[in-house]
Amino acid sequence: MPNHPKRRSKLDRLLDQIKRLAPNQIAEAERALKEARQHAEARVEIDGAAVDRACPWCGGDDRRKWGRTERGEQRWRCKDCKRTWSGLTGTPAAGVHRPDLLLEAVRDMFGDAPLSCRKLARKLGISRDTVWRWRMRVLSALPSAPVEVFQGIVEADETFQRESRKGSREWVRPHRAPNLHPQPPRQRWRDYGRQGPPQAIVRRFLKPVLGVADRSGRANLTYIPDTRQPTIAAALLPQVAPDALLLSDGAPQYQAIATAAGLGYWMLVGGRRSFRTPATYHLNTINSLHARWKEFLKPFRGPATRNLDGYARWLIARREGYLPAFRRLLA
């Protein structure tokens, strides 16, 4: 029998065509390949998240494949309610028309140096408002509490962030309708000039963020409205194991909280240690966490206080990388 040449695959023919590309065409091919990779990665994550999900409409488990969406994701049809759905239906990412760009935005958020909304919007070719809304979706999907409680030696302390009312119309509305809108309790920070606001104003509008960390590397930051004992206790105790040893500075609230909860406690007043203080008793871990928090916030020039808790969750979640955060948008 005659030997027929083996039929070449589409990929082999494509690779041969790539070798013949002109230098200016190679750059275009690289951009097209990058976009195809982004689409494929997002599609794989979306389809993978839908494999074990029940119907988002009725909760039924009996389903069948029902073609694909316009973007190429697997579509399913529930045999009980007869409705169709995909991996995005009923998730925090529902309604996003470009999940591939959403994945790139999440990747940037968890990179070494996240871009501003304006710069990321120019890079992705979308509106800065879209980038902002996507970031808010990601922050709202991040966990607000650690998966495991803090054990062993646990350090707790609060750091303070100056109040920010970014996006607020409080200073504009009184000029337009003074009878309907009262004057805000302070001026804009920039209105105080180069000398800055009085210290009484600064202290009044400092917002506390509670940091908790243990020696295993686990850490958490939580925005709290004030530093009263009940407020700190409500945020701290659910995160700490009942047999933990709590270390804090000289704030009396922590000692009262530890005594009431039956926790071990040791107070470390800054700069004062005795020969009875074990070398392992220190607040270096929590101080390091606070330093990373301050450094993390610098590029954002003071996020709005209403979003402060989301930024705290963002910093903690950066250890996990971008894929777990993106998968939370598909849950």
CB atoms under 10 Å from CB of 273, counted, come to 13
CB atoms under 10 Å from CB of 230, counted, come to 10
Question: Taking a C-beta distance cutoff of 8 angstroms, is the pair 249, 157 a contact?
Answer: yes
pLDDT score of 121: 97
φ, ψ for residue 43, nearest 5 deg: -65, -40
pLDDT score of 188: 85
Q: Please list the ranges in the chain whose pLDDT falls under 70.
A: 1-7, 271-272
φ, ψ for residue 153, nearest 5 deg: -80, 120
φ, ψ for residue 300, nearest 5 deg: -90, -5
| The CATH number of domain 153-163+205-300, selected from 3.20.20.60, 2.60.120.260, 2.40.420.20, 3.30.420.10 | 3.30.420.10
Question: Taking a C-beta distance cutoff of 8 angstroms, is the pair 85, 76 a contact?
Answer: yes
Question: Taking a C-beta distance cutoff of 8 angstroms, is the pair 174, 183 a contact?
Answer: yes
pLDDT score of 313: 95
Q: Where are the domains of the chain?
A: 23-90, 153-163+205-300, 167-198
Q: Is 20 helix (H, G, I), strand (E, B) or coil?
A: coil
**What Å distances lie between residue 255 and 92, 159, 163, 266, 280, CA to CA?**
40, 18, 28, 8, 19
CB atoms under 10 Å from CB of 68, counted, come to 13
> Taking the CA of residue 17 as centre, how many other CA atoms within 13 Å lie in the half-sphere pointing to its CB?
8
What single string gives the DSSP state of each residue in 103-149?
HHHHHHHTSSSPPPHHHHHHHHTS-HHHHHHHHHHHHHHS-SS-SS-
Model pTM score? 0.85
Nearest to 73 by CA among 89, 52, 57: 89
- Residues 79, 126: Cα–Cα separation, whole Å: 38
pLDDT score of 271: 56
pLDDT score of 196: 87
Q: Is 288 helix (H, G, I), strand (E, B) or coil?
A: helix
pLDDT score of 109: 96
